[in-house]
Structure 1
Amino acid sequence: MNIIIPVGGLGTRLRPQTWSRPKPLVSVAGKPVLGHVLDTLSAVEIDRAVFITGFLGEQIEEYVRDNYHFDAAFVKQHQPLGQSHAILQAREQVSGPSLIVFPDMVFEAPLDRLATLEADGAIFVKEVDDPRRFGIVMLDNGRATRLIEKPQAPENNLAIMGVYFVRDVQWLFQAIDRQMAEGIQTKGEYYLADAVQLMIDDGALFTTLPATVWEDCGTPDALLQTNRFLLARSETCPSATDSVVIPPVFIADSARVSGSVIGPDVSIGDNVVVENAIVRDSIVDAGATIESAMLTRSIVGRDAIVRGEPLRVNVGDSSDIDLRSDRENGASRG
């Protein structure tokens, strides 16, 4: 099976974390979001994975090549015209059965069922409390008939989660050609759901498959919630020198933690230094330093430095935040 993964979005809702890295490389529970997605996809035999890159795409390629060993291709989307346009960039790379995954969430689903699926395609869905915030799938005896974006009066709660399977990806490419030729857009962009709808209108049989896990990673609050969810499922309980660790917590082996209280719901990345601090419900990314600070519901980017007062922060890569008083900094007052 082929995998098509669009990774070119700017991730504006996750700034400042995404000023210096692509959204799929933002960390949660000790690993980039993309890493969690690719680990889930390891349940299927991958013939080729095509990554549609954009902003800082070289970081995506470096991460994938350093950590995974399947056949991978990287194609740049030069114009950000939407999901369908991104998928179309894979046209020269793949044919046959293909899985399209938008990696702005962590998910688990019965991917093994695709091998015996008797349909032209499948839309992965998750039951949600309020489907008005999502696209939903209308069904007739198990057959998808209509995809509706953010319905105000939804008839079911089957939210589209951003994972699609097509048995013949060339059929999808042809539908995208038609979509773009006819200017079929939603909010000024070419959405993949509209191309899938064209396939359905032309007689393609699409069914739905249920996701067992769907955790959003598209905003700071969502990222922290997903961090809590993943940590709660972990069976490991790390320790730290001269510190109190309140699980669930992830602490990388190369991190140095001393004189601190860590947890609950904290992820600490590679080569992080935490000294004399209290950190809870937070993500501290690789190379960051936390000194004499109290952090809660915070995201600290790579190589950032935070010192001083209790606070909640969302600090981008390589920032230096010093909230100590002048006296603590060694300055004198006149």
Structure 2
Amino acid sequence: VLIALGDTIIEMGLEDIITAGRNTIGVRHVENPQRFGVVEVENNRIVGLQEKPEHPRSNLAITGPYFFIASGELRKALNQLIDSGEKTRGEFQLTDALQIMVELGIDIYAEEIGGWFDCGTVKTLIETNRHLLEHAVPYEAFPDTVLIPPVYIGKGSSIERSIIGPNVSIGEGAVIEDSIISDSIIGNGAEISRGFLKASVFGDKSSYAGKFGKMILGDHSQGGYYGD
């Protein structure tokens, strides 16, 4: 069983983890382990796990991916956790099921990950976007618009009378007019007019009309400034 986390990006091949033929979890040393599941290790073998602990016993954060040859034991541990009703932070946590496996004597090993980028908060998502834009592909010119690299612009997007960049990713089919946008992520089909935006994230099909701001809009959301 291979499990990847949806709110992280890793730069690595999976072949080594898969071909090693053992239960493995990707980890990395972090400065703020309270935000993550963490592991304790001895000789690279995991001996304890905690989910977002207030007082972490380690600064080795779980980044993923997870690879298990003991998929049957993982299923049993998950069922045991659910049957017990034991929750952490109001939810059943994979970390707690893995702790059950460790307590049953099942070997799970830590594999330190090199290139890892956290997307779990708006701040870290924007920081990760900056890194990914280092590999951005060339873009076309747009009418009366200044593009300040690095930027990424998806197919079918329309941009007029705007200043875009640096560090801006724009999805496919977005429409942007009369705006200044930097250090932001704009989703597919988003529409922005008269926006002066920085460190903002707009979901797919979101729309905004207004002035200066720092905005977070989810998919299909609308926002704007209608003052004087």
Q: Does 1:315 align with 2:222?
A: no
Does 1:201 pair with 2:103? yes
Tell me the matched-pair count.
Answer: 227
Mapped partners of 1:110, 1:236: distance in 2: 22
Aligned to 1:37: none
Residues 235 and 146 of structure 1: CA distance in aligned 2, closer, same or farther (over 3 Å)? same
The answer on 1:180 being equivalent to 2:99 is: no
1:253 aligned onto 2:152: no
Tell me what 1:304 maps to: 206
Secondary structure of the residue aligned to 2:18 is: helix
Q: Which residue number corresponds to residue 331 of structure 1? A: none
User: What is the match of residue 147 of structure 1?
Assistant: 49
Aligned-pair distance for 1:151?
A: 4.3
Provide closer, same or farther for how the CA distance between residues 172 and 283 of structure 1 changes in structure 2, counting only shifts above 3 A: same
Partners in 1 of 2:200 and 2:87 — Cα distance?
Answer: 37
Q: Partners in 2 of 1:189 and 1:182 — Cα distance? A: 12
TM-score (norm 1): 0.61
What do the CA deviations read for 1:189-222 (whole angstroms, capped 9, x no partner)?
3211222122222221111112223323233333
**In 2, Cα distance between the equivalents of 1:138 and 1:325?**
54
Please state which structure has a larger fraction of its residues in strand: 2
Secondary structure in 2 aligned to 1:174? helix
**Corresponding residue of 1:161:** 63
Aligned mates of 1:169, 1:286 — CA distance in 2: 37
Q: Is the 8 A contact 1:237 1:247 kept in 2?
A: no
Find the aligned partners of 1:181 and 1:263 in 2 and give their Cα distance.
Answer: 51
Query: Partner of 1:185: helix, strand, or coil?
Result: coil
**Aligned with 1:228 (options 130, 136, 144):** 130
The answer as to 2:207 corresponding to 1:290 is no
- Residues 321 and 165 of structure 1, relative CA distance in 2, 3 Å threshold: closer
1:240 equivalenced with 2:141 (yes/no): yes
Tell me how far 1:128 sits from its aligned partner: 0.8
CA deviation after TM superposition for structure 1 residue 134, in Å: 2.2
Q: Shift in Å at residue 239 of structure 1?
A: 3.5
The amino acid of 2:89's aligned partner reads K
Give the match's secondary structure for 1:147: strand
1:114 correspondence with 2:5 = no
Structure 1 SS opposite 2:141: coil
Q: Which residue of 2 aligns with 1:19?
A: none
Secondary structure of 2:62's partner? strand
Do 1:240 and 1:258's aligned partners in 2 also have CA atoms closer than 8 Å?
Answer: no
* C-alpha deviation, 1:324, in angstroms: 5.6
Alignment identity in percent? 37
Coordinate RMSD, CA, aligned? 2.3
- Does the Cα contact within 8 Å between 1:137 and 1:148 map onto a contact in 2? yes
* SS of corresponding position for 1:286: coil
Native 8 Å contact 2:163 2:181 kept in 1: yes
- Evaluate the alpha carbon distance shift between residue 237 and residue 199 of structure 1 in structure 2; reply closer, same or farther with a 3 A threshold: same
Q: Tell me the SS of whatever aligns to 1:197.
A: helix
Q: Which runs of 5+ in 1 are unaligned?
A: 1-97, 327-334
Specify whether residues 197 and 321 from structure 1 end up closer, same or farther in structure 2 by C-alpha distance, changes over 3 A only.
closer
| Counterpart residue identity of residue 135, structure 2 | S
CA contact (8 A) 2:50 2:96 kept: no
CA contact (8 A) 2:51 2:96 kept: no
